[in-house]
Structure 1
Amino acid sequence: MIRRILFLSLLGGTSLLTYAQENVLQYVKPITGTRKMGHTYPGATVPFGMVQLSPDTDTIPYEMNGRYNKDVYKYCAGYQYEDKTITGFSHTHFSGTGHSDLGDFLIMPAVGELQLNPGTADHPESGYRSRFSHSTEIAEPNYYKVKLEDNNIIAELTTSTRVGFHQYTFPASSRSHIILDMMAGIYNYENKNVWTFIRVENDTLVTGFRQTNGWARTRIEYFAMAFSKPFKAYGHQNYAKDVYKGFWRKFDQTKDFPEMAGKQIRAWFDFNTTEGEQVKIKFALSPVSTQGALKNLRAEIPGWDFEAVKRAGQAQWTAELNKIQITSGSREEKENFYTAMYHAFINPTVYMDTDGAYRGLDMNIHTANGYTNYTTFSLWDTYRALHPLFNVIQPKRNADMIQSMLHHYEQSVQHMLPVWSHYANENWCMTGYHSVSVIADAIMKGNAPFDVNKALDACVATARHRTYDGLGYYMDMGYVPEDKNGASVSKTLEYAYDDWCIAQVAQKLGRTDLYNEFIRRAVNYKNVYDRSTGFMRPRLSDGSFKVSFDPLQTHDQGFIEGNAWNYSLYVPHHPDSMIAMMGGKKQFTQHLDSLFTMELPDKYFAETEDITRDGIIGNYVHGNEPSHHVAYLYNWTGHPWKTQERIRMILKKMYHPGPDGLGGNDDCGQMSAWYIFSSLGFYPVCPGSNQYALGSPAIDKATLQLENGRTFTIEARNQGDKNVYVQKVVLNGTPLNRWYITHEEIMNGGKVEFYMSARRGNK
């Protein structure tokens, strides 16, 4: 670490030495986004770690009386800041999603009479859950601590990539327990557990697996659990109706029987503890086998030094967070920025054992040779800014993520790239085929250490899959008809953008036939534009526009997570054409202005839990991703000062370092990536191109430590809360007479200077 600090100081002078010595971890607030709609979790994980060890504050059934339970939406990450009790600590969590799964292998320490049900929030004493207070809660990168008040137990959590490390400080008791709940999970579908199995190897080692049928149709996770001291007794209760059938009745399986199997199992392990005694647990995961989990455990955490594991994980976070080093006079800005970097570096997650073995989409075991295999691809969200951010500061990881996508394609019966995938499953969630955008962005930016022609073939095969989500209609008619396939306008617009991405790669690789095919498809957005209303509008299979049309409504209007006002601005690959189509710069500017200033009536917030005023400014929906590029479109209308003004407003309104500090789901880091780019002063309006639109930097200075050994510095002179307008931009000493910067200019290293003022610029 000393050598790294010296190396960084030699690269950038004394100011970099100051950066390297500063504890950037102090600015990360994992609690941000845990209230309301942020859907983040406060627990421990390392960058892109396979284990996300975090408290769960309630277990909510997905359905109530046969209908979708709206309350379940709050618990996408398992934790809600407003809750007063903790049910336990599970090992897998999504960060910031709008749907959920996971919550595997919940562990809860307890003392006194053994209780094997979680109880209720109103009466936690009726089960194993416990009250807690935020006053005793500490959440840092790779460390979580809380006091479980009902049992007077201090819980501490940390992790390595594949192993969760628990440390529980008990009171004196002859009845101390560790409960392992194999039934618990996030989004508890009825009959979610297909099968669970626990094997007691000896008095300190337990192995097993859990197979579930939830959002992922068939998901299998194996574990190895080691205790720091022998347990004196153990047992389990099986809550299924078909227990103890056949020859198994020859044994009393409820206590001290080494094999526990069934759909609904809760197990316990008993200890004697002295006052202040710590019982530690190492809990390793594997997508392959219990043997793989055991190998992961021994490879990553061979000993029992909790503090050493915590320090090692926090050192990983320090290294990752220092890839962008900022100067700001505002502590809040530093907390916002480094918390955003933290959230951006959680997903996608590593999905393989230490030997490279992983479970593929075909449920067979594969080996990742020469790359790290990843999972959790929320691509409808993350193609917009997260993966472009990775191309700048995490290019090696992003290339590995793309190789993971390409192997997904090879293992897919449909021969399609991932849409929304996790844990060897494709969920088919959301619209478009945005793996194409991620792949194209990497290829066009020169970050493609893989067979680019094979990658293009995978993109083409995906885009020609006629049976996928209205794509056959789109190919034949040039649009998706609403009477044949819902959310038709969103799909048409997104397919057209993805097709443009394919065309760019085909042109770069000299495959003219493919370029011609997909550049024609890239203008299909014109087929859903209605000149009479000035909006994108759903069309029917007879060619007519849908008669009943409300441009402010989302549902049943041809859109998903947006309305016509927002989606009419979604042509990121042809902004000039879009502006001309919508009446020219003046009229288009008025449309943009209205988007930010209008007031939506209450009726548009009444029907669904994911549409609230929290993530909305006027009719601009920052909490839903289709609008994320919109504020930058003023750069194409001759009003860049409006982009600058809007960006700084959004930064202030939608982000702050507190539990409710995110104006919408973080969506696996997309909201955070938007913040990072926008704070730095530029944004990838159109991934797949090499351009980043300029905005208004909110930091005083930032230095990007690039993987190629170069540095790129952004300096905002005279920047402040009122000085949001850019007077001029200077790149490496030369005035920049355009409102974008290129990827090559960033990766070549150097310096860009923004001269800021409270007065609007001349352009």
Structure 2
Amino acid sequence: MKLLPLAALLLATVPTFAQKAKTTENLVQYAKPLVGTARMGHTYPGATVPFGMVQLSPDTDTLSYELNGKYNPRMYEYCAGYQYADKTIVGFSHTHFSGTGHSDLGDFLVMPTTGPLQLNPGTADQPERGFRSRFSHQNEVAEPAYYRVRLDDHDILAELTASNRVGMHQYTFPQSEQAHIILDLTAGIYNYPDKNVWTFVRVENDTLVTGYRQTHGWARTRTEYFAMSFSKPFVSYGSRNLSKKQVYRGFWGRFDQSKNFPELAGEQLRLFFDFKTTAGEKVKVKMALSGVSTEGALRNMRAEVPGWDFEAVKRAGQALWQQELGKVVIESPKRADKENFYTAMYHAALSPTTYMDVDGQYRGLDQNIHRAEGFTNYTSFSLWDTYRALHPLYNLLQPQRNADMVQSMLAHFDQSTMHMLPIWSHYANENWCMIGYHSVPVVVDAVLKGVVPADQAQRVLDACVATAHQPRFDGISYYEQLGYVPEDKSGSSVSKTLEYAYDDWCIAQLAKKLGRTDIEAEFSKRAQNWQNVYDSRINFMRPRLADGSFRPRFDVLSTHDQGFIEGNAWNYSLYVPQDPAALIAKMGGEKKFLPHLDSLFTMHLPDKFFAETEDITRDGIIGNYVHGNEPAHHVAYLYNWTSQPHKTQARVRMILPKMYRPTPDGLGGNDDCGQMSAWYIFSSLGFYPVAPGSPEYALGSPAIHGATINLENGNTFRITVKNQSDKNVYVKEARLNGQKITRPFLQYADVVKGGELVFTMAGKP
């Protein structure tokens, strides 16, 4: 294999259009990876590149899923492995989700230490009893593709950077006869009982170690391979097997496997590598990952980071981030605005993540090895969240990448025994998290916007129809028979009915485009099923039973056992994104609809609401509007379907500063793989995709002073904002290419062909 120079190879992984997005300003300085690391943002601060397979980041605790035989409620805090309030670091692991409400991963934790060897992590209150270390945020730096922290207990400066598939560590040691680098294969995020199925390590020589880890966690069967290379030979090494069930028999019992043994296997392995260091000596480590094999991991390492120039890897990674962030160049006199915007752009480009080796091989849903032909394979699709704004953002800013994501979903469908598109998939697994079949709006929106080639459209439609007809999935058979999901047969029934109906509408739009009148008729009818859970006597969506009656016990504010998921009747009664006009008519017209919508933002929730949600969503609530959970993300824009669109403008400008700040606690809820950030990006620019599958954006109120969107097709779309201020939140006039806009909507086609949108702002409606 001919190896390219590092910077050239990394830049070659980005579509050439990105290199057109030029700005003289360093945008990387504005992206703050520490935003969202406090409270419930669940982001990680470590080093990664856009959509990178490696997310090399510090973990501040390794809690067990169970505590005294019961679920440990603090596990929820550590979905990304890091909490800003913590005072110690356990180590640096190589895989992390960004902003999720559940987790897995945390693979291959590495920790440098000095002094007598300790192979237990210690505790947060007594870190000196283990290999963890105290640290201070004053000695911590987090930038895109770079992380640095001083480990106070070991007097070590730790620095991290990454390419797509390789994490690179640089540890500056003091003078020590007892320097160690620990590789912990027992550590992980969301450590279920018996999560580790098996680990294997092979010491190839005194600078190279390979192996794999098999886990049974959120992903029921996940195998990840690694190749670990040291810049300096270790003088000795050893291990400890922590599994009480592990018994060596026969031949294996003849050897002392705790020290200098070339191969190790077991359920719970921790390894150590010993060094002698001089003051200020830098010991570097490269960890390459693969879902295929250790050979694949080695190929990834040799292709992406063949040498030991840490600064070159960092520069190449930050160059990728500069290109990514430069797809939208905003103008604002406030640094905080730029930090909010480019941090959102950063978070929106963390996932889905690459999931294939440099030669195109990847592990499929069927656990066989496949090769991606003509596309990049991706994983970690949090579709219940990201169909709303993140994938529509990709259709606008990077359609080729989103086309590859659609191909990844179609490959998932082909490998699925249930013949379904993904629901929440990661690392060759489907974990079935959340409801709906929301890969449908993602793939349909991509086809209808011309992102997916026309010759793939029929294949996409067939996959959508098969998914919607899968009888074993979450109440679908009842939905098809009755026109709704009955609560006495399947929980969260109202949410399921409403979300299925929206997905069905998307299928009908694609069928119409392709002239499949039979499918269009079927799914247009199914798209009306939202009406079957609407109780006109109380003007709320309400759970129905299999006998057709509405369930008598019902609380419109409660989130517990009321037929909804991550929301209540007040929120979900506004979830008909495919036809807001019909919803308004159903609710009795504007006279009744507008007070309902107004009250969502102004009402006071009773304490029982927060007790039911265990404070999980408290950070993201304004009145009864739950921005921290996605079902209401479109709601502020619904005023555009009434005679009062100015209220959309006011609501959006109210939400933005309340839910987003450039501080560690600056996210009003989980970022959810970039969905929260995508909402911010669209809303700051002044428009939002209320119903992916529709060609329209709903206009709002831009929060920036101007922006240039550098489109993949070479065009630019310019947004100019006149009379902008914190008080001038109302749009007095909007013009597209000089023509006055008379309806508060914008067409996708008008944006991608380039042009200028001019907002004139005012302090009154």
Provide the TM-score with structure 2 as the length reference: 0.97
SS of corresponding position for 2:550:
coil
- Aligned position for 1:94: 97
Amino acid at match of 1:281: V
- Aligned position for 1:8: none
- Aligned position for 1:110: 113
Counterparts of 1:384-463 in structure 2 under 5 Å?
384-449=388-453, 451-463=456-468
Could you tell me which of 51, 55, 58 is aligned with 2:54?
A: 51
SS of corresponding position for 1:21:
coil
Could you tell me which of 61, 66, 70 is aligned with 1:63?
A: 66
SS of corresponding position for 2:340:
helix
- Aligned position for 1:653: 658
- What is the distance in 2 between the residues matched to 1:67 and 1:475? 39
For residue 608 of structure 1, report the CA deviation from its aligned partner.
Answer: 3.4
| Contact 2:174/2:279 (8 A) holds in 1 | yes
Report how many residues are paired. 747
- Aligned position for 2:714: 709
Residue deviations 1:156-196 (CA, integer Å, cap 9, x gap): 00000000000000000011000000000000101000000
Amino acid at match of 1:627: A
Amino acid at match of 2:377: N
For residue 587 of structure 1, report the CA deviation from its aligned partner.
Answer: 1.0
Q: Does structure 1 residue 367 correspond to structure 2 residue 367?
A: no
Q: Does structure 1 residue 528 correspond to structure 2 residue 536?
A: no
| Contact 2:617/2:626 (8 A) holds in 1 | no
- Aligned position for 1:192: 195
Structure 1 residues 136-145 or 714-723, which shifts more? Answer: 714-723
- Aligned position for 1:466: 471
- Aligned position for 1:670: 675
- Aligned position for 1:337: 341
Could you tell me which of 482, 485, 488 is aligned with 2:487?
A: 482
Amino acid at match of 1:136: N
- Aligned position for 2:233: 230
Q: Does structure 1 residue 497 correspond to structure 2 residue 491?
A: no
For residue 609 of structure 1, report the CA deviation from its aligned partner.
Answer: 3.3
Could you tell me which of 296, 300, 315 is aligned with 1:296?
A: 300
Seen in structure 2, the aligned counterparts of structure 1 residues 121 and 555 have a Cα distance that, compared at 3 Å, is same
- Aligned position for 1:313: 317
- Aligned position for 1:637: 642
For residue 20 of structure 1, report the CA deviation from its aligned partner.
Answer: 1.3
Amino acid at match of 1:728: E
- What is the distance in 2 between the residues matched to 1:298 and 1:68? 42
Q: Which stretches in structure 1 are left out of the alignment for 5+ residues?
A: 3-10
Amino acid at match of 1:590: P
- Aligned position for 1:136: 139
- What is the distance in 2 between the residues matched to 1:419 and 1:245? 44
SS of corresponding position for 1:371:
coil
Structure 1 residues 310-319 or 602-611, which shifts more? Answer: 602-611
- Aligned position for 2:222: 219
Q: Does structure 1 residue 267 correspond to structure 2 residue 271?
A: yes
Amino acid at match of 2:541: M
- Aligned position for 1:85: 88
- What is the distance in 2 between the residues matched to 1:292 and 1:243? 31
- Aligned position for 2:288: 284
Counterparts of 1:343-362 in structure 2 under 5 Å?
343-362=347-366
- What is the distance in 2 between the residues matched to 1:422 and 1:720? 43
* Structure 1 segments (4+ residues) deviating >3 Å: 607-612
- Aligned position for 2:735: 730
- What is the distance in 1 between the residues matched to 2:250 and 2:611? 53
- What is the distance in 1 between the residues matched to 2:476 and 2:615? 27
Counterparts of 1:158-177 in structure 2 under 5 Å?
158-177=161-180
For residue 52 of structure 1, report the CA deviation from its aligned partner.
Answer: 0.1
- What is the distance in 2 between the residues matched to 1:408 and 1:563? 32
| Contact 1:111/1:175 (8 A) holds in 2 | yes
For residue 466 of structure 1, report the CA deviation from its aligned partner.
Answer: 1.1
- What is the distance in 2 between the residues matched to 1:77 and 1:186? 7
Amino acid at match of 1:493: L
Residue deviations 1:61-101 (CA, integer Å, cap 9, x gap): 11223322110000000000000000000000000000000
- What is the distance in 2 between the residues matched to 1:464 and 1:719? 49
- What is the distance in 1 between the residues matched to 2:741 and 2:128? 66
- Aligned position for 2:155: 152
- What is the distance in 2 between the residues matched to 1:524 and 1:35? 40
- Aligned position for 2:11: none
- What is the distance in 2 between the residues matched to 1:338 and 1:707? 19
For residue 446 of structure 1, report the CA deviation from its aligned partner.
Answer: 1.1
- What is the distance in 1 between the residues matched to 2:524 and 2:266? 54
Counterparts of 1:614-625 in structure 2 under 5 Å?
614-625=619-630
- What is the distance in 2 between the residues matched to 1:87 and 1:237? 17
- What is the distance in 1 between the residues matched to 2:495 and 2:465? 20
| Contact 1:243/1:262 (8 A) holds in 2 | no
- Aligned position for 1:7: none
- What is the distance in 2 between the residues matched to 1:220 and 1:466? 30
Residue deviations 1:238-280 (CA, integer Å, cap 9, x gap): 0112232232011111100010100000000000000000000
Amino acid at match of 1:123: Q
Could you tell me which of 578, 582, 591 is aligned with 1:586?
A: 591
Structure 1 residues 375-384 or 581-590, which shifts more? Answer: 581-590
- Aligned position for 1:322: 326
| Contact 2:559/2:612 (8 A) holds in 1 | no
Q: Does structure 1 residue 126 correspond to structure 2 residue 158?
A: no
SS of corresponding position for 1:201:
strand
- What is the distance in 2 between the residues matched to 1:626 and 1:33? 20
- Aligned position for 1:255: 259
- What is the distance in 1 between the residues matched to 2:615 and 2:191? 19
- Aligned position for 2:385: 381
- What is the distance in 1 between the residues matched to 2:249 and 2:648? 68
| Contact 2:40/2:616 (8 A) holds in 1 | no
- Aligned position for 1:718: 723
SS of corresponding position for 2:23:
helix
- What is the distance in 2 between the residues matched to 1:301 and 1:439? 34
| Contact 2:289/2:300 (8 A) holds in 1 | yes
- What is the distance in 2 between the residues matched to 1:185 and 1:531? 49
| Contact 2:567/2:631 (8 A) holds in 1 | yes
| Contact 1:201/1:207 (8 A) holds in 2 | yes
- Aligned position for 2:754: 749
| Contact 1:28/1:141 (8 A) holds in 2 | yes
Amino acid at match of 2:539: G
- What is the distance in 1 between the residues matched to 2:657 and 2:112? 41
For residue 677 of structure 1, report the CA deviation from its aligned partner.
Answer: 0.1
| Contact 1:348/1:374 (8 A) holds in 2 | yes
RMSD, aligned α-carbons = 1.2
- What is the distance in 1 between the residues matched to 2:258 and 2:249? 14
Structure 1 residues 384-393 or 20-29, which shifts more? Answer: 20-29
Residue deviations 1:328-357 (CA, integer Å, cap 9, x gap): 111111000000000000000000000000
SS of corresponding position for 2:612:
coil
| Contact 1:70/1:609 (8 A) holds in 2 | no
- Aligned position for 1:6: none
For residue 444 of structure 1, report the CA deviation from its aligned partner.
Answer: 1.1
| Contact 2:186/2:269 (8 A) holds in 1 | yes
For residue 586 of structure 1, report the CA deviation from its aligned partner.
Answer: 1.9
| Contact 2:99/2:672 (8 A) holds in 1 | yes
For residue 607 of structure 1, report the CA deviation from its aligned partner.
Answer: 3.2
Structure 1 residues 315-324 or 242-251, which shifts more? Answer: 242-251
Residue deviations 1:544-575 (CA, integer Å, cap 9, x gap): 11111001011200000000000000000010
| Contact 2:617/2:628 (8 A) holds in 1 | no
Q: Which stretches in structure 2 are left out of the alignment for 5+ residues?
A: 1-6, 9-16
Residue deviations 1:400-459 (CA, integer Å, cap 9, x gap): 000000000000010100000000000000000000000111111111125110111000
Provide the TM-score with structure 1 as the length reference: 0.97
Amino acid at match of 2:653: R
